[in-house]
Amino acid sequence: MIQQIYLLQKVIDRIEERIKEEIKPEELAKMIGYSPFHFYRLFHQQIGYTVMDYVVKRKLQYVLYELVNGRKVIDIAMEYGFETHSGFTKAFKRVFGSPPSLYRLHCPTSLPPKLDLLNLHAKEVGGVVMQPKIVHKDSFTIAGKTYQSKMDNVLYTRDAPAFWDQRIKPEEAIETMLYKTLSPKKHGEYCVNLNDRNMDQTFTYLFAVDYDEGVQLPEGLTKLHIKPAVYAVFKIPPVDVKQFVSAIKGTWKYILEDWLPESSYEVDEQGYDFEYYDELCHDWIYKKLTMEIFVPIKEKDKA
């Protein structure tokens, strides 16, 4: 396993070196002595994406950095190997779900950090965590049930396994109860850490859904109003259900130990970090699961 990771690191490094050139997966396979078939399978298994999906996503991450620095879209597209403006826009929308002109507003202001596969493997992330989307989210209100938890290294794991550990216990049926009781208009569950940043080995988390004003709040449930904030939104790599909790924990560690220190942002202590789960984490629908982590951020003091 470790030997394979070292070989794939060579591939990842080569992609970085040639990020503005045409990259052929067959040449990458030959570089590490694998047949194309075996290489494609190994890459997808360890990285979480097909080879060319990863190459395109990585190119576009660099494009985002160029966009936020004010360069013209067509100039950037040609430089990174997209032959036409329409071809670039199509690839961009396929990956990010919006045109470059809109996403320009949500770009990280720092270069994509160098990928260290051995580090990600040690964190059990389950793949590669791509650059986050930077979004401004208006205020919103949620309601749910609070839980006390005791956990080692709580500053790293935060409330990572909160939802999943509770959801798989039939006697709890938290999710079902909240939807039946509150009937939110939008589907999605939140896990919010309610403690301050000086927590020790215990903390309180809120498992909640959207709360629509006017709905009666039953006894035993807690309502939380979250103020407007700017968030870095990370999506964990798609993983099997058995890897889901460890991938969330690993992504938290990556955010706190690697991404934040290398970025131009810091955590905004006035906001709440939270995990967001929608239908993409339903194991009865999807073979590979994913979810999002929202981290409130602000620009670091350049002084």
Mean pLDDT value across residues 283-301: 89
Mean pLDDT value across residues 165-184: 71
CATH number (domain holding residue 254): 3.20.80.10
CATH number (domain holding residue 6): 1.10.10.60
Q: Do the domain assignments include residue 144? A: yes
Beta-carbon contacts of 299 under 8 Å, excluding residues fewer than 6 positions away, are: 109, 264, 265, 266
Is there a single domain that holds both residue 81 and residue 223? no
Q: Do the domain assignments include residue 82? A: yes
Helices H / strands E in the chain, number of each: 13, 9
Tens-digit pLDDT profile for residues 84-126: 888 888 888 777 666 776 666 556 667 777 888 888 888 888 8
Tens-digit pLDDT profile for residues 11-43: 999 999 999 998 999 999 999 999 999 999 999
Is there a single domain that holds both residue 103 and residue 169? no
Q: What is the per-residue pLDDT for 152? A: 55
Tens-digit pLDDT profile for residues 129-151: 888 888 889 999 999 998 876 65
Q: What is the per-residue pLDDT for 277? A: 92
Mean pLDDT value across residues 57-80: 82
Q: Do the domain assignments include residue 60? A: yes
> How many CA atoms lie within 13 Å of 150's alpha carbon, on the beta-carbon side?
0
Q: What is the per-residue pLDDT for 60? A: 85
Mean pLDDT value across residues 221-235: 93
pLDDT confidence tier of residue 166, bands split at 50, 70 and 90: very low
Task: Give dist(CA 175, CA 171) in Å, integer.
Answer: 11
Is there a single domain that holds both residue 77 and residue 138? no
Is there a single domain that holds both residue 232 and residue 272? yes
Beta-carbon contacts of 203 under 8 Å, excluding residues fewer than 6 positions away, are: 148, 149, 151, 154, 158, 159, 193, 194, 195
Is there a single domain that holds both residue 167 and residue 278? yes
Range of the domain at 100: 2-107
What letter does residue 19 receive in the DSSP assignment? T
Q: Do the domain assignments include residue 125? A: no
92, 107, 122 — which closes off a domain?
107
Is there a single domain that holds both residue 181 and residue 36? no
Tens-digit pLDDT profile for residues 79-88: 888 888 888 8
Q: Kindly report the average pLDDT of the chain as a whole number.
A: 82
Is there a single domain that holds both residue 62 and residue 163? no
pLDDT beyond 60 at 234: yes
Is there a single domain that holds both residue 156 and residue 278? yes
For the chain, what is the domain count?
2
> Quick one: tokens of 146?
């609070």
Extract long-range pairs of 14-23: CB within 8 Å, 24+ residues apart: 15/54, 15/55, 15/58, 16/58, 16/114, 16/115, 19/58, 19/59, 19/62, 19/80, 20/79, 20/80, 20/81, 21/81, 22/81, 23/55
Per the model's pLDDT, the better-predicted residue between 169 and 184 turns out to be: 184
Q: Do the domain assignments include residue 293? A: yes
Is there a single domain that holds both residue 152 and residue 277? yes
